Structure 1
Amino acid sequence: MSAVPAKAAHAPHLRGVTKPQVPARKRPARNLIRGFFFASEKIGREFFPSVMEHPKRKGGRPAHYPSVTDRRLVEVLTAEGLSQREICPILAVSPKTLRLHYREELDRGSARLEAALAMHLYRLAAGNGAIALRATTFILKARFGWSPYLPPPRS
């Protein structure tokens, strides 16, 4: 074994003292391959941009890129009353991905559903009979916070 002089800049009292040089460990082939891919990352991105898009990503599902058709479909299905759990298998995404990428469409669809239900209730309330009375009572309770048990307003 050969001796290497200690770095005197870090420890001035060790000037001239030598320490034995430890032979470099053999690196497994896996580390060599990994090192090769990290070293050739720039070249890989240049020639294979789609493959080398996220070189450090570990497994998992591929990234989801919503299309215009998917966005419209989510809005229509939400407006028809389907839940997020029922929409996810149609698009083959997780509920978290659905909420992340389609939040505006989910909000618009649920607003349309709510408006359609309110219009239907108002139509029922405009009629005659017991159903009209129940619809009016429901609208007052749900939309305006009315309760038959509240004290009457002071005049």
Structure 2
Amino acid sequence: MPKLTKPPHEPTAENRQIVQLHATIGTPQEDIARVLGIDPKTLRKYYRDELDLASAKANATIGGALFNKAKGGDTAAMIFWMKTRAGWREKQEFDLTSSDGSMSPKPTTIELIAKPVPNDNSQD
């Protein structure tokens, strides 16, 4: 009896769009392969470019939209951009000193004391 083999996968423009869409929104490769009815290895073999470029394209699109919002005066977008791209950080300082000084933090010294370990250098 002859062995039945499945014909090789033939990528189509429609399948490439499906892969790119799913990869762009972060769908796991196993799920994308299931949608197409192929093995994940086959997905990676035939759709490598779509998988690799989808994330970069999505980041560029969202980054561009964020940049435009920041340029347009959106304060939250400006702050986010400066924190993530320009290294801005928020610094919180707490003054624990009370107004009369009675609750001012005082340094504490802790001395660790250990029992001496006998030196067993005796030779019998």
Q: 1:113 aligns with which of 55, 58, 70?
A: 58
Gaps of 5+ in 2: 90-124
Return the offset for 1:90.
0.7
* Match of residue 36 from structure 2: 91
Q: 1:64 aligns to what?
A: 9
Summarize the Cα distance change of 1:121–1:90 in structure 2 as closer, same or farther, 3 Å threshold.
same
Single out whichever of 100-109 and 131-140 deviates more from structure 2: 131-140
1:103-131 Cα distance to aligned partner (Å, 9 max, x none): 11223322321211211221343334344
Looking at CA atoms only, which structure, 1 or 2, has the larger radius of gyration?
1
The structure showing larger relative contact order (alpha-carbon pairs under 8 Å, at least 6 residues apart) is 2
TM-score (norm 2): 0.52
Q: Contact (CA 8 Å) 1:122, 1:136: kept in 2 or not?
A: no
Instruction: Return 5+ residue gaps in structure 1 as ranges.
Output: 1-32, 34-50, 141-145, 149-155
Give the total of aligned pairs: 88
After superposition, the C-alpha distances for 1:15-47 in whole angstroms (9 at most, x for unaligned) are xxxxxxxxxxxxxxxxxx8xxxxxxxxxxxxxx
Taking only aligned residues, the RMSD between alpha carbons, in angstroms, comes to 3.1
Q: Is the 8 A contact 2:20 2:51 kept in 1?
A: yes
TM-score, structure 1 normalization? 0.43
- Between the aligned partners of 2:34 and 2:78, the Cα distance in structure 1 is 39
1:32-51 to 2 correspondences below 5 Å: none
The equivalences for 1:4-153 within 5 A come to: 63-126=8-71, 127-140=73-86, 146=87
1:48-92 deviations in Å (ceiling 9; x for gaps): xxx7xxx7xxx8865322223212221233234433233121111
